[in-house]
Amino acid sequence: METWLLGQDDVGRVLRVLGRDTVMRRVIDALRAALADLGRGVLAPSPPRTGFTRGGAVPGVIEVMPHRQPGRGVTVKTVAYSPRNARRAGLPTILGTVARLDDDTGHLVALADGVLLTALRTGAASAVATSLLAHPGATTLGLVGAGAQAVTQAHGLAQVLDLRRVLVSDTDPAHAAGLAARIAFLGLDVRVAAPAEVLAGADVLCTATSVEPGRGPVFPDGPHREHLHVNAVGADEPGKTELPLSLLRRARVCVDHPEQAHAEGESQRLAPGEVATTLDRLCADPAAAEGWRHGLTVFDSTGFALEDHVALDVLLAAAEELGLGTKVAIEHLPEDVLDPYATRRATTDHYGQSTVVDE
């Protein structure tokens, strides 16, 4: 009845020991395989996320995202999106934790940080979509939005493309200027540019912004490369969109989770018939995307719980490989399971070893 806890020190050590590239590649490979299984009907889909929206002076969203793999486990992520965190509290915009439950008993098997996990799996999802939809010769990445998500977007795409250059735009000049240092480990030429210049020069464009509902698009429609592929990452609540509708309607659109995408992604502005396919179908049949790679494509990424389930698998396997984490008895296990008051009391002997006695 112990729970395996993986905190910030543990996930930080995973990154330092295995390396960022190794961790990202493991998530990309595992996610590609899981999405292919989903597309073939081997895995069951995740239900759409649910939660609460905060208005007023401190806007944001708090959501719960569950995924069940029968006989193996249930993953539940609790995640908060608070766009004013960085300036108000010095905290990441996205905070969260991820729990793994035993599918047979409901026992809390593991509890892990969800901040790094969310950034990794979001970058990995864009990498999977980009590997299928982007022009094979793509070398220039455009980023609209230079916050934390931009780092893992660039990192994920660098694993599947021969990137040479990054054009970045952000409404906060300091964020745009600071991105070069944050992704220096990729060895890319990074240049700050106006949104229209980013659109015109990119082979692949990622939008990862914290625009408020009704305030999009985050760049104007205009000239772009014929083979442009867009990963639209930032939309995560009704009314919040990033792309010009005219561009979206010209593109072949691929969604990650159809129900979520039509409720709170870019596709909330499209009829079901205007969405071409889903990412899991393309992973199950990659040849279906071959004819799309020379035209305009959009990956409508809302982020769904299967991605968290897969990323947690990768993180737990890495932690086990490195002997990381702490085991803690969190759930109450009475001496008599029919009597919740039949508690156990921990004592410490003179050797410093903890034991449990009945009360």
- Residues annotated as catalytic (active site), given as ranges: 236
Cβ atoms 66, 47 nearer than 8 A: yes
- DSSP 8-state assignment for residue 175: H
Q: What is the DSSP string of 212-279?
A: PTT---SS------TT-EEEE----STT---S-HHHHHHSEEEESSHHHHHHHSGGGGS-GGG--EEH
Rounded Cα gap, residues 182 and 16, in angstroms: 16
CA-to-CA separations, 33 to 39, 258, 282, 305, 320, in angstroms, rounded: 10, 19, 11, 15, 21
- DSSP 8-state assignment for residue 47: P
Complete edge-to-edge strand list for the sheet that includes strand 189-192: 189-192, 165-169, 140-144, 204-207, 229-232, 297-300, 252-255, 277-278
Cβ atoms 301, 126 nearer than 8 A: yes
Burial class of residue 170, CB neighbours in 10 A (0-12, 13-18, 19+)? buried
Helix intervals (H) in the chain: 8-18, 20-39, 85-89, 115-133, 148-158, 173-182, 195-201, 245-250, 258-264, 279-284, 305-322
305-322 helix and 115-133 helix, angle to the nearest 10 degrees: 110
Chain centroid to CA 134: 20
